[in-house]
Each structure stands twice: as C-alpha cells, then as structure tokens.
Amino acid sequence: MSYQGYAADLGDGEVAALLFEYMPKIAAEHKMDSLLVLMADLGRKIVQADRCSLWLIDEERNELWTKVAHGVSELRIPLSAGFVGYSLKTGEPVLVEDAYRDSRFDRRSDIKNGYHTTSVMTMPLESDDRVMGVFQAINKIGDNVFFSKKDLERLKLISVYSAKTIESAIRAEKLERYAKQLERKAEELESAHMELIRILGEVSEFRSQEVGDHIHRVSEISKMLARYYGLSDEQQSMIYYASLLHDLGKVGIPDMVLKKEGRLTESEYSQMKSHSVIGRTLLRDSKTDLLCMAADIAGAHHERWNGTGYPDRLKGEEIPLSARICSVADVLDALACPRCYKTAWSEASVKEEMKKSRGTHFQPELVDILMDHWDEFFSCYKPNGAFVKNGLLPPVSE
C-alpha cells in the first residue's frame, strides 16, 4: 500500500489562500456547532475529501458528537466507534485506502446513510496533552483515489489549528455559562432582598394600622415623583423599595400609642414621632445603597423643607432627596385616605393643601411636579384608578 505519489493535490499557495479565507470567519464565530461546520468545510477543501467532520467528546454523555451542516441536527456516535474511536483511544492518526478491508471500520453509519466509504483519514485533536476529539476525512475526490501522507500532514495542520480554536470556544462557552449562572443567582438574591423589604414594609404597615396598602401607594407615588424629577431608572426603583420602609420604626412604638383612637397626649405624640429615629437606627448600618437610602427616608420623611419638621429640623437640601420625595407621597396619601382619626379629604382639599405646602412643608419643585401631573398622581385614589387594577385601592371617599 502506498499513500504517496498522487497528483492534483492543492499547492501550498492554494492551501494558504484557503486558510486566509477561513481564518477570519472562524475567528468571528463563537457558536461551537457553527465552528465545527466551518472547520470541517475548510478541512474538506484542503485535503479534497468528499466528507469531513470534526468529532468532539461529550464528557457528560460519553459520546462523540459533530455537526456536519447548518440546519442539520448533530450526529452522535459511541466513543469507541470505528476509525474515529481508534484515533481517540490511541492518539494515533489513521490513513486507509479501503475502509471495508480494515477491521476497525464501523460500517453501520454507511448502512444508515446509504453511503459507501472507501478512503479515510483521521487525526486526533489534541490540546494541552489531551485528546478532545478527532478530525475525520472520508473519500478522496478529484484525480486521486486515496489520501496521501501529504493530505495527512495537512489534516494535522488543520487539526492543530482547530484544537486551539475549539479549546478557546469551550473556555468561552464555560465562561458564558458561568456568567449566566452568576447572573441568575444575583437576580435570585436581588428578588429575595426586595421580597424581604416588601415584607418588612408590610409588617410595619400591619403594626401601624394604616389603611390598606398605604406603603405601596406611597412607594408608587414616590417612584412617579422621582421619574418626573429626572432621576434614573435605577434611582426610581431604589426609591420605590426604600419608601416601603418609611414607617419601619413604628414596629418600636407601643400598641397603646399606635392604636389609640382619638388625640394623642403630648408625650404620646413625641413617642409616636420617635418612629423616624427608630427606623433610621434599624437601617443605618446596612452596607447596601438601597437600605442606606431606606435609612435616610425612615429618618427624614417627617422633616420639612422650611426646617420645622422632625426629628432633626433639617432644612431644604439638608434633607435627603429620597426623603423629600417620600414625604410628599406620604402626606398626599394620608390626606387622600381615611385614618382612624379622620375621614378622607376631598380631591380639591387635598390639592389645595399640597399646593399650600409648597416651599413650607415640601420642596417647591416637587409640588410643581405634583400639580403638573395631578390627574395622574391622584388617579390611584379614584374608582377604577391604577391601584384598583392591582387590587390595591384603599377605601376613599370622594
């Protein structure tokens, strides 16, 4: 048997031209199955084979798999099948003229595909001292009948190049999978975090006997104010969640004060006011930006723009913006909804009161935003308003 001396192989220049044609396409391709198709195509042209395929080990399924054409689903064979299995096991190439006269040949795929294999070359794909797959060329075409040693050398060249490419593609795929897992975990953590904040907010609401879903409406309105104020989506979302905790400190107020119907005595009132300091104290040691903002809101949502609020009599921009925003939403909701000590105000009176508080209780710009978009802000207090759709509308008298 001789493997050399056949004419009409591609010249080195033609091989180089093919490599230059394929290299940019291969470098730009990141999907493994498309890479396999591209490299098999390159191999087929360089060694002039009728068929070429690049088999890779699937360690999870203990199989070899390949993709031979776009749109055709992948092919799979056992690790030990035929010449490919031989090369995989021994790390040796195979070069045969007539497959049917070689005991290593597995004729099942010919039978299955109605094909007739004659000449075959296989070359292990090695990377970092391990065999990761096998490059296989079947049936020489053109003037020659068999593959030559030169073809085998060229198959080796393409195999080395392919192994490196595949290695980096596998690494990139692993990294991508890992990044996706991390992203999923981060999302899970984030939603657990938000869920806990919501539950904490609801606990404080439950304790303080607020009328249905006060904190949710305050959060929605705060977010809307933040949007019109020009804050980023991320800040709007932080304000939403942080506002859920604005009255967290009420968990520290005794029931006899919190649930008292009628007027509070002076000492009860100062006890009640301490909820802002309690809330801030509970939240202020947090390392997350969100809970730090929640601490700002809890501690300063009863401050007033003109410095007459509590607990620190902060004035103007000394009051954190998030707390200035939440304070508008909190008062709007308190006026528009009934409480145990009062009925809900009419829309006109609420609007009038908010307008009157511009520059005294509230930052002027925030009241301007509220007035400019009044119908939108007040829609949640109307039958069929936004909160009705979410089942969150409180009992409100018109």
Residues that bind Fe ion (CB under 5 A): 247, 330
Q: Cα–Cα distances in Å, from 341 out to 7, 148, 320?
A: 103, 98, 30
Where do the H-state alpha helices sit in the chain? 12-28, 32-47, 82-90, 108-113, 149-208, 214-229, 233-243, 255-258, 266-273, 275-283, 289-300, 321-336, 347-356, 364-372, 374-378, 386-389
Report the residue count for the chain. Answer: 398
Kindly tell me which of 41 and 330 has the beta carbon lying closer to Fe ion.
Answer: 330
Q: Phi and psi (nearest 5°) for 308?
A: -105, 10
| Catalytic machinery residues | 250
| Strands of the 120-127 sheet, one edge to the other | 75-78, 63-66, 49-58, 130-140, 120-127, 94-96
Give the whole-angstrom CA distance, residue 93 versus residue 122.
5
272-278: long-range contacts, CB 8 A cutoff, minimum separation 24: 273/302, 273/310, 273/311, 274/249, 274/311, 275/247, 275/249, 275/250, 276/249, 276/300, 276/301, 276/302, 276/310, 276/311, 277/249, 277/311, 278/248, 278/249, 278/250, 278/251, 278/252, 278/253
How far apart are CB 330 and Fe ion at their closest, in Å? Answer: 4
Q: Cα–Cα distances in Å, from 358 out to 248, 327, 362?
A: 27, 12, 5
Kindly tell me which of 44 and 250 has the beta carbon lying closer to Fe ion.
Answer: 250
How far apart are CB 244 and Fe ion at their closest, in Å? Answer: 10
Give the whole-angstrom CA distance, residue 64 versus residue 36.
13
Contact 327, 321 (CB under 8 A): no
Kindly tell me which of 163 and 326 has the beta carbon lying closer to Fe ion.
Answer: 326
How far apart are CB 217 and Fe ion at their closest, in Å? Answer: 10
Contact 22, 38 (CB under 8 A): yes
How far apart are CB 247 and Fe ion at their closest, in Å? Answer: 4
Kindly tell me which of 155 and 380 has the beta carbon lying closer to Fe ion.
Answer: 380
Cis ω on the peptide bond leading into residue 311 (within 30° of 0)? yes
Kindly tell me which of 106 and 247 has the beta carbon lying closer to Fe ion.
Answer: 247
Q: Which amino acid is at 323?
A: A
How far apart are CB 194 and Fe ion at their closest, in Å? Answer: 19
Q: Phi and psi (nearest 5°) for 170?
A: -65, -45
Kindly tell me which of 158 and 297 has the beta carbon lying closer to Fe ion.
Answer: 297
Kindly tell me which of 247 and 303 has the beta carbon lying closer to Fe ion.
Answer: 247
